[in-house]
Amino acid sequence: MLGPPPSEPSFPPLPDFDVPPQQPFEPLSSPPEQMVPQSSMGRREPRTARSRGMVGLMIGLGALSLLLVVFFSLPRQVAGVLPQTISIYNALGIEVNKSGFKIVATQTQEIANSIPIIVIKGELINETDTELAVPSVRISVRDRNKKELHHWIVKADQELVGPRGKGSFSARLESPPADAVDLEMRLARDGEH
């Protein structure tokens, strides 16, 4: 059902405002001390500090990224400079070869004039892309409990091996101990005899 049309709203009358007479414009003799409102002055400093903080954060993240790239792409070099990192690499499942050489060897047993002889022939493989001095090899004979019975140092046939190259060594042990069951070969450390 339709009702009567709405009537025009009635507003209260507007008050009379006294408008002061206009003054002629006079330029200032000196500039005001603060032309910028207080509210925008406070914004500039935090914005600058925030920008500096972001730059610092980006530099820090870049340095951390570079450190991680070096750590994972050059484990042999890092372990050579910081030997304590070897345990970290091992925990991560990364094998670290500080020397750059890998030993591959075979052993045979022979008898000559009723004397048993262990004959060892091996290679020292340079796993790096640089020429390296070939280290000596320490060979030890062990019993069932891995107790060392006898050891000796063998020099390689070459003094230097080129990148990804191979050096060779050979050794013989006449009359090995009767309870010898195992051989261990590793690179000799400095000063080992």
Q: Which amino acid is located at 73 in the chain?
A: S
Model pLDDT for residues 60-108, shown as the tens digit of each residue: 999 999 999 988 888 888 887 888 888 888 888 887 877 889 999 999 9
CATH 2.60.40 for domain 101-187: yes
pTM to 2 decimal places: 0.55
Closest CA to 128 of 165, 89, 85: 165
User: Bridge partners of 102?
Assistant: 125
Taking residue 92's Cβ as centre, other Cβ atoms within 10 Å add up to 10
CB 43 within 8 A of CB 51: no
Q: Which amino acid is located at 132 in the chain?
A: L
Residue 60's contacts (CB-CB under 8 Å, 6 or more residues apart) are: none
Model pLDDT for residues 28-62, shown as the tens digit of each residue: 666 656 555 555 555 556 677 778 888 889 999 99
Domain ranges of the chain: 44-98, 101-187
